[in-house]
Amino acid sequence: MIRVAAKLWAFIVRDFQQQVSYRLAFLLQIGGMFLSLGAFFFLTRMIDPEAKGLDGMNPFEWMLLGLAFQYYFSTALYAFSAKVRSEQMMGTLEAMLVSPTSTGLVIFSSAAWDFTYAGFRVLLYLGGAWLIFGISFHLENFPVLILGVVLTLLSSVGLGMLSASFILYFKRGDPINFFLSGMTTFFGTVFFPAEQLPAFLQGVSDYLPITWSLRVVRGALLLGKGFAELKNDLLALTVLTAVLLPAGLFLSRIAIRKAKQEGSLVQY
Amino acid sequence: MGHAVEARRLEKRFTRRRSIRDILFHPFRSPEAVQALRGVDLTIREGEIFGLLGPNGAGKTTLLKILSCLVLPDVGTAAIGGYPTSREQLVKPLIGLVHSDERSFYWRLTGRQNMNFFSTLYEVPREARDARVDELLRKVDMEEAADRPFADYSSGMKQRMSIARALLHDPPILLMDEPTRSLDPAAALSLRRFIQDELSGRDRKTIVLATHNLHEAELLCSRIAILMKGKVRQIGTVEEVRRWGLDTRNYEMEVDRWPVEAGERFAVLSDRSWEDGRRVRVALAGEDGLNLLLAFLMERGVKLRSCNQVDADLEGAFARILEAE
Ligand SMILES: Nc1ncnc2c1ncn2[C@@H]1O[C@H](COP(=O)(O)OP(=O)(O)O)[C@@H](O)[C@H]1O
Ligand SMILES: [Mg+2]
């Protein structure tokens, strides 16, 4: 366990060291983030706060969390496949896989930094909103919030590993990725509540982890809901995580095995 | 002495990837395939420098990748230190792979940052890490450049980093894939010395060295296998392989010209321009063969300037093996 943690940490350090050389890009990203934050502030003033599905939450705050978590999930989806692809090109995937480190752990850890970085940016985003727009969050149910965030993290790692496995297995652009990003944006209750959709489409949202993540996080942060009120949402998120994470680990091993059969761990 | 590496009947076939367009327009055409290995049998002993000699495309890299658990064979088995390569957790601690290309490192990071990262993957304990990395950087003479970005290194430096990385977990067996391929002659010379004196001599590593360089194999290896088109053609000590098929002797002659028919009747090893004539090396069946060739040349009015018998060398053996194909 200590060894696994040490390896995970080594991946984070590795990518942090690479990231340091892109300082300007980082500042520009943060700048862009705050501009979009401003745009959404004014945009959401046009939204009826009584709209179905908002459950009395302020539209700007509601959407703010949606955007932050959509950013998180899209990082998850994108980071794994992009990392695996580039390590395949650089030859470093092979270099890692000759070492006595298991395949699953190599894939699992490869996006550890992207997650850390995305988490950091989400915090900045929310902190900025708090400072600039004077939003107040309920923090009294902090443990529930943490639980929700951890489950969000694990389920998105599962999704990311699925998409990386797809890339390794089929060696081409990743339609799963594209599909899931689109689905998340449309059905993930990021921009509008599922209740606004025609009835026969509403159920789709239930299969996306982001829907449940957002129910937990919005409930806890904006309405001050506690464990008792959120336990069904947490349960749904747990079930999805329990499916997605093992599936991601398992399929990444299958994909690496296929790559070893085809000799495609390195690509030119 | 035990066996460091054993390969039995290894076969590997690669299919080339088809483009979507190709699949759309020719849905039933089977993909192009390459048979990279066709039944390779090998035994490599502990402590030897074993040469895997063969032209480009012979299957050397494929074989080394199978031995390092990076490619799965279609047929046959390979074992490292007695463990089959399917048991990766047992095999990986025993091997260090020195890649042939210069990639496989993070170019934006320094040499030391790269080494630190890989040392964790190779399970060097954190408290021993800095000392181990320093020791290896010193060993491959990269101490001074260690804090410069990897991208700035010369080919020789990258190759030395690759060796240092393969030594992180102190494996008893090193698999080296054409380590001198992209080096200039001076760098190649010093790397060969390092392999011979340090890695083999002092550290007593078993070394499997893939190379297409005959000279390198003769200098370094105790035993060699000649691999061609995915098959082991010859295996033995350098001396044994050199003499292979030598019911013939090699002669080098300088002539004013070399008739085309001579090439059809006699086994020509090499033929190049020399001053205003040609210098030709032929393998002949002893004195009888020599006299036959001389008569053949005289008959056609070829002027002979000199004729020497040359010792058997690996190049000759290589040519004979090619001929026997
Ligand atoms: N991953 C791969 N996909 C398709 N063909 C391959 C792959 N790897 C090697 N080959 C082919 O297999 C043959 C042997 O290659 P290789 O083992 O690299 O030879 P060597 O290292 O002796 O030059 C070559 O024809 C090469 O093109
Ligand atoms: Mg090769």
Ligand 1 pocket, CB under 6 A: A 263-264; B 14, 16, 34, 36, 54, 56-62
DSSP secondary structure of A104-132: HHHHHHHTHHHHHHHHHHHHHHHHHHHHH
- Tens digit of each residue's pLDDT (9 = 90 or more) over B174-210: 999 999 988 888 989 999 999 999 999 999 999 999 9
Reading chain A (268 residues) residue by residue, the pLDDT tens digits are 778 999 999 999 999 888 877 777 778 877 888 888 888 888 888 888 888 888 888 888 898 889 888 888 888 888 888 898 899 989 999 999 999 998 889 998 999 899 888 888 888 888 888 888 888 888 888 899 999 999 999 999 998 998 889 888 887 766 777 787 888 888 888 888 888 888 888 888 888 899 999 999 999 988 888 899 999 999 999 999 999 999 999 999 999 999 999 998 887 6
Cα A96 from chain centre:
25
Q: What pLDDT sits at residue B1?
A: 47
**Beta pairing class for B49-53 and B223-228:** parallel
Q: How far is CA A104 from CA A148, A162, A252, B69, B88, in A?
A: 24, 12, 7, 15, 13
Q: B30: Cβ–Cβ under 8 A, 6 or more apart, which residues?
A: none
Give nearest CA residue, ligand 1 atom 12.
B36
Instruction: Tell me which residue has its CA closest to atom 20 in ligand 1.
Output: B57
What parts of chain B have a pLDDT lower than 50?
Answer: 1
Give the contacts of B250 (CB within 8 A, at least 6 positions apart).
Answer: B269, B281, B282, B283, B284, B309, B310, B311, B312, B316
Q: Report the SS3 class of residue A151.
A: helix
Interface test mutation site (partner A, options B104, B105, B112, B123, max chain A beta carbons within 10 A): B104
- Please report the atom of ligand 1 found closest to the CA of residue B64: 17
State CA B254 to chain mean position distance. Answer: 33
ipTM over 0.90: no
- Looking at residue A133, what is its pLDDT? 85
Residue B60 to residue B74: CA distance in whole angstroms: 16
CA–centroid distance, residue B33 to ligand 1 (Å): 11
CB count in 10 Å sphere of residue A194? 19
pLDDT at B2: 66
pLDDT at B50: 97
Spacing, Cα B56 to ligand 1 middle (Å) = 9
CA within 13 Å, CB half, B29:
14
Candidates A98, A262, A268, partner chain B, best to mutate (most B CBs within 10 A): A98
Q: Enter the tokens of residue B180.
A: 């001198």
| Contact residues on chain B for A95, CB-CB shorter than 8 A | 99, 104-105, 118, 165
